[in-house]
């Protein structure tokens, strides 16, 4: 089933009096249960593409169909709704609410979806159990290790059962061992049927995915399946 269908999108920014062509002509198809890595050097447009995919921004031209619905001309509120229900973000810097505990962080998307308190808390707790944090539910971010924080972020991304998980350099702020644990978690999530899009500049991380899309200067240079894929040996649910 097709989730993302991008056809010839371009994004142009005005920086002062100059025009920056962040994306020139990008077309891309992503189906359900795919595991795609997007790679590229700085200035290649991969962040811009990620923002497009995540419905955080709209293209200057071109079409973006999300689950068959055109997104490119949606209003801010409509985009917000899509982000809330269909997209689970995982950031390099975790982006948790520092003064709230794990449960409250995870239930945040559900609050914006209008879910009642009791149900939200139940679903948030379950999501935390699924990522192996049942002992850390009421900890605040500063009481958690880097890996644990990222797990909370992943639980938050999963809690609204989104169509895609969008991860931007998810291991960038973690040491290699913890990074590997997180990649193992992503592997598990993918196996359960989720669709994962990973943005990274590290070759090693990209090769955990099944497909790599390489960007350069706002265009897709290569789009190929991964031959020798890394399967993490570490158990995912380790603190």
Partner 1 sequence: MSPMIFELNEGLAIAWRAIRANKIRAALTMLGIFIGITAVVLMSTAIKGIDNSFKNGISALGSDVLYVDKWSWFSNDEWWKMRNRRNIEMEDYRKFKELAKLPLAVAPVTNSRQTVKYDDKKVEGVFLTGSNADYVKTTNFTFDQGRFYSEIESNASRNVAVIGSEISAKLFPRGDALDKTIKIGGTNFKIVGVLAEQGSVVLGPFNPDNQVFIPIGTIFKNFISRHSQTVTLNVRAPNPNMVEETKAEAEGIMRKIRGLSYDQPNDFSINQQEGLQEQYDSFVGVIQIAGLFITGLSLFVGAIGIMNIMFVSVKERTKEIGLRKAIGAKRRTIMTQFLLESSVICLLGGLIGLIAALLLSLMLNQFFPTAIQYDVVIIAILISLLTGIVSGLAPAYTAAKMDPVDALRYE
Binding site for partner 1 (CB under 8 A): 51, 54, 56-57, 76-77, 80-81, 83-85, 89, 91, 95, 97, 99-100, 108-109, 111-114, 116, 156
* Smallest separation (angstroms) from partner 1 to the CB of 120: 10
Interatomic CA distance for residues 208 and 11, integer angstroms? 29
Closest to partner 1 by CB, 7 vs 57, is 57
Closest to partner 1 by CB, 120 vs 190, is 120
* Smallest separation (angstroms) from partner 1 to the CB of 58: 11
- Give me the phi and psi of 101, to 5 degrees please: -80, 175
Closest to partner 1 by CB, 156 vs 187, is 156
CA distances to 48, 57, 141, 146, 189 from 16, rounded to whole Å, are: 18, 20, 39, 38, 43
Helix (H) or strand (E) holding 14: strand 2-15
* Smallest separation (angstroms) from partner 1 to the CB of 215: 17
Interatomic CA distance for residues 156 and 124, integer angstroms? 8
Interatomic CA distance for residues 17 and 150, integer angstroms? 39
Lookup: tokens for 220: 């897709």
Lookup: tokens for 137: 């539910």
Lookup: tokens for 21: 């062509």
Closest to partner 1 by CB, 95 vs 237, is 95
* Smallest separation (angstroms) from partner 1 to the CB of 72: 16
Closest to partner 1 by CB, 12 vs 210, is 12
- Give me the phi and psi of 167, to 5 degrees please: -115, 125
Burial class (CB in 10 A: 0-12, 13-18, 19+), 200: buried
* Smallest separation (angstroms) from partner 1 to the CB of 127: 14
* Smallest separation (angstroms) from partner 1 to the CB of 79: 9
Closest to partner 1 by CB, 85 vs 216, is 85
């Amino acid at each position: 089933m097709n989730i993302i269908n991008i056809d010839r999108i371009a994004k142009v920014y005005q920086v002062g009096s100059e025009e920056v062509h962040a994306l020139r002509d990008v077309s891309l198809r992503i189906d359900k249960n795919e595991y795609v890595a997007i790679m590229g050097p700085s200035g290649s447009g991969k962040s811009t593409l990620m923002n497009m995919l995540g419905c955080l921004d709209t293209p200057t031209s071109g079409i973006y169909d999300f689950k068959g619905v055109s997104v490119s001309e949606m209003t801010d509120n409509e985009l917000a709704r899509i982000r809330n229900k269909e997209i689970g973000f995982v950031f390099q810097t975790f982006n948790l609410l520092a003064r709230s505990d794990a449960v409250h962080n995870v239930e945040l998307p559900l609050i914006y979806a209008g879910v009642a308190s009791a149900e939200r808390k139940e679903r948030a707790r379950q999501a935390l159990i699924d990522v192996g944090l049942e002992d850390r539910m009421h900890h605040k971010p500063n009481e958690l290790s880097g890996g644990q924080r990222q797990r909370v972020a992943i639980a938050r991304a999963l809690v609204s059962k989104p169509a895609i998980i969008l991860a931007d350099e998810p291991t960038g702020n973690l040491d290699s061992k913890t990074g590997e644990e997180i990649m193992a978690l992503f592997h598990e999530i993918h196996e359960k049927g989720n669709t994962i899009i990973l943005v990274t500049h590290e070759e090693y991380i990209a090769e955990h995915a099944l497909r790599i899309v390489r960007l350069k200067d706002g265009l897709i240079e290569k789009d190929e399946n991964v031959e020798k894929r890394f399967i993490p040996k570490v158990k995912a649910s380790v603190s």
